[in-house]
Each structure stands twice: as C-alpha cells, then as structure tokens.
C-alpha cells in the first residue's frame, strides 16, 4: 500500500496547468472551489443553459461551455454522472484534445467500462475523493481533507501520477492521505460497496427491520427510531474507531446481541449473495444493464425510485424529522 501526503507531493507541475472541471454538482462544486482556494488556475465547464452557471459565478468561479473549457485547459476533470460522460466526451472533449492534455476522472466507470476511449497522446488519471462532494468541501474549509484514491490509466507524458497527485493535493486529499490504486480496483470496489453495503445493503436492511416491527404491532415511530434514526450514531462510532470502538461504546447487552444475533440476520447466504453481486460487477453485467437502462430512458429506474419513495418509513421519517429542527445543522 502506498499513501501520499502533502510532504510527498510537488505541486509545481499542477500549479503551471490550467484546469477545467466539467460539471458543478456534488463533486464538481467541491473540486472547483477547493482548487480555487488552493491557488490553482481553474475554470468550470457546463453545458449551454445550465442552471449551475449563475451559482458557480456567484461563488467566484469562471464558467465556460464544456468545449471552450476543454480548449483553454491542460487538465480536464470529469465530475459528471457516469451515464453522460461518454456523450459529453464525444461532443465537447474529444475534438479538442491535443498532445500534452490530461483527462482526469473522479470515478473509474467510464474508462474501465470503455465508455470513453482516449487517444494515446493524452494522459489519463483519476483522483477519487472517498466522500460526497459537500463533505469534501466542508472538511477542506475546516482545514482538513477527505482521503482520495489516485490511479493512472495512461501516462503519455511520464508525469501523469505527479500531476494527479498535485490535483489531489489541491482538493485537500493529501491532508488525509492519497492511496494509490487502479481504475479496475476503484471501479469494482466502489460499485460493490454501494450495492452490497452503503446503499443497497443498508437500505434493504433498514426497510425490512422497520416492516418486521410494524407488522408485529409496534408503533411506526418507535420502529423508525430504533432501526434508522440511531443508525447514524452507530456508524459515527465505527467511522471514528472501527468496529471495536463501536462495541466498546455500546452496552454489554447490545454487544452480546451483536455477536449472537447479527449472524442470524446476516447469515452465510448473505455472503454468497454478495459474491454474486461482485461477480456481476466484475463481468460487466451490471455496467451493461445500467448503460442500457439509461439508453432506454430510465423507465425501470424511475419506477423503482417512485416505489421506494412511497415506503411507509419515508412518511414516518419525514414527520419525525420535522419535529427535530436541530437535524438541519448536522451532516
């Protein structure tokens, strides 16, 4: 394992480059503002008519169309949804690539699954912050940083990793550490983490537990507090000190239940199902399915979003959170 920190990085290379950040969503706004505050020469690239243009300009950033941003920059960072990167690349990026330019990504999906196939005369690298954009920005403003991953897919200049590390320093990643990886590893582990644990696994677990309690006759409000509201408190303990810190902080009763009942809920079959999910990621099956879903208009995706937004836990949670105004000041 190789970790890079501020003292390991020469920012001279990246400081001499003009940087374009394409997109001004969660990651795009954090990257752009952090780079600007680090003293880097950065411009935001947006599609014509983007509603984000005014916001970015109000926050002190120069905004150009995607194509103009690419023409006028040495380093082009994609902070766009995976599913539109290929189209933007074909229309607004590829025609204006020249030797010496560098393509960067905050997630490896488009390169690893060949939605984008760069020419051999450009560098291709990745800096992937391990946190949502608003956290990347807020932590940076506090003087700290969110850890990042760095990977190089194509090194035409011989300096791709050094430039990428300088970019990672600019967004604050080197304050916490930048771990070297590959596009393959980042893409597959990121998708697996989202599907098996962070999003898919957790939401399915929470919803099922809520349903079990309500169906057994308990108040929905009590069920919400026990299986969703308190989840953040437990995750915060794990985030700060691992599973051991969490277990040290909870009651002996809770810890005993952890050891003896947890494996009943998440039994060996769950691990086998996780392996199947990973296999679908490794084989490209998930990527093909998701790309096809986008190409066909996202009908299934929108139906699933609507179905899940109507789950009773959402109505109960919205009502209870309305009674807890202090939550608005927490992340």
Active-site residue flag, 107: yes
Residues 6+ apart with CB under 8 A from 179: 1, 2, 3, 147, 148, 149, 150
Count helices and strands in the chain by DSSP H and E runs: 18, 9
User: Is 203:48 a contact under the CB 8 Å cutoff?
Assistant: no
With CA atoms as reference, report the closest residue to 42 among 64, 11, 70, 19: 19
Catalytic residue, chosen from 29, 31, 107, 153, is 107
Q: Residue written as tokens 């950033």?
A: 61
Alpha-carbon span 148 to 129, nearest angstrom: 4
Q: Residue written as tokens 């098996």?
A: 196
Alpha-carbon span 170 to 37, nearest angstrom: 8
Taking each helix axis from N to C terminus, what angle separates 26-37 and 133-141, rounded to the nearest 10 degrees?
20
- For residue 268, give the H/E element and its range: helix 268-282
In the chain the first and final C-alpha atoms are separated, in Å, by 31
CB burial class (10 A; 0-12, 13-18, 19+) of residue 7? exposed
Q: Residue written as tokens 């990042």?
A: 148
**275, 277, 278, 282 alpha-carbon torsion, rounded to 10°:** 130
User: Is 45:21 a contact under the CB 8 Å cutoff?
Assistant: yes
Active site residues: 107
């Amino acid at each position: 394992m190789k970790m890079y920190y501020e003292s390991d990085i020469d920012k001279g290379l990246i400081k001499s480059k003009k940087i374009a950040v394409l997109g001004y969503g969660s990651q795009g706004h954090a990257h752009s503002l952090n780079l600007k505050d680090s003293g880097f020469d950065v411009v935001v690239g947006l599609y014509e008519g983007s509603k984000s243009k005014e916001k970015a300009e109000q926050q002190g950033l120069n905004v150009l169309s995607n194509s103009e941003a690419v023409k006028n920059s040495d380093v082009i960072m994609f902070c766009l949804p995976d599913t539109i990167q290929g189209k933007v690349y074909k229309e607004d990026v590829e025609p204006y690539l020249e030797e010496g330019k560098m393509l960067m990504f905050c997630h490896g999906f488009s390169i690893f699954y060949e939605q984008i196939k760069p020419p051999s005369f450009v560098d291709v690298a990745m800096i992937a912050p391990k946190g949502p954009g608003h956290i990347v920005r807020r932590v940076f403003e506090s003087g700290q940083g969110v850890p990042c991953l760095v990977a190089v897919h194509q090194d035409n200049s011989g300096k791709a990793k050094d430039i990428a590390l300088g970019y990672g320093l600019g967004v604050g990643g080197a304050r916490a550490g930048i771990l070297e990886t590959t596009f393959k590893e980042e893409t597959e582990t990121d998708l697996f983490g989202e599907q098996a644990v962070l999003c898919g696994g957790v939401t399915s677990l929470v919803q099922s537990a809520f349903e079990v309690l309500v169906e057994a006759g308990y108040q929905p409000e009590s069920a919400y507090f026990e299986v969703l509201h308190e989840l953040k408190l437990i995750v915060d303990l794990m985030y700060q000190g691992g599973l051991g810190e969490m277990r040290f902080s909870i009651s002996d009763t809770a810890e005993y239940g952890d050891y003896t009942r947890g494996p009943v809920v998440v039994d060996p079959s769950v691990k086998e199902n996780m392996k199947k999910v990973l296999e679908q990621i490794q084989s490209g099956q998930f990527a093909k399915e998701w790309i096809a879903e986008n190409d066909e208009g996202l009908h299934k995706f929108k139906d699933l979003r609507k179905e899940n937004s109507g789950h009773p836990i959402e109505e109960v949670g919205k009502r209870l959170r309305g009674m807890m105004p202090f939550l608005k000041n927490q992340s």
